[in-house]
Structures are given as C-alpha cells and as structure tokens.
Amino acid sequence: QVQLVESGGGLVQAGRSLRLSCAASGRTFSRYVRAWFRQAPGKEREFVAGINWSGVRTSYGDSVKGRFTISRDNAKNTVDLQMNSLKPEDTAVYYCTAGLKYLSDPSSDPLEYDYWGQGTQVTVSS
C-alpha cells in the first residue's frame, strides 16, 4: 500500500520559515515527478512546486517563486519544501504528491499526480 505522509506544518509568524517533509512508503518514486499543492478554505487547489526525478528541473507557482524551494532525496524516498518569508496568504493545507509518468517534468495540473498525502496545515499569522 502506497502512502505519502507529510510533516512539519504548524503555526508561524509572518516573515518566518517552515520546512515541510514528505515520506513515501510502499514503492519508490526515484524516477517519478514529485510536487506540492495547497488548498486554502474556499479556494481551489493550487500548485506550489514540483521537481523532476533527478532534481535538476523544478517549477514553482507564481505566488511562491523566490521564497519556496523544493528538493528531494531519492535514497530516502522523500521530498521537502523549504518555505521562507512566509505570508498570511500562504495559510493552507499543504499536500504532497507523486506522479507515475516515467521521467516526466513537473506539471501544475493536479490530474498528473497519482498519489496524494493527507495534508498538513500551515497557518501564518500576521
């Protein structure tokens, strides 16, 4: 059974940093794309960041470019999201995902991702 488990969420003041981590179990995703999405109350799910299998190619949503960094460790089957200069509008549930298109580049389309974690809450206070 494949599971993606996020950790690292919480409450933080604006301007501070948080690091999210996602551990996968049940299969390896070392040759597959990984990504983070988020969803705030009353809003659509939003692409945050994606990374290809090797870590060479990354993609970011416009609202987080220059502040967030995605990385992965294929040996550990994990993907992380470093979030700096957090803003109240970053408040959302953050979801870790994994796609099953072999060696594909990251996409902002949630339909490209086959596995999703349960989500972790990030709340940024002003």
What was the pLDDT predicted at 101?
A: 85
**What's the pLDDT at 102?**
85
What is the chain's Cα-based Rg?
13
- Band of the pLDDT at 44, cuts 50, 70, 90? very high
pLDDT, one tens digit per residue, over 61-70 is 999 999 999 9
pLDDT in tens, 77-123: 999 999 999 999 999 999 999 999 888 899 999 999 999 999 999 99
- What is the pairing mode between strands 10-13 and 120-125? parallel
**Mean pLDDT of the residues in the chain:** 97
Q: So what's the pLDDT on residue 29?
A: 95
- Rounded Cα distance between 77 and 15, Å, is 30
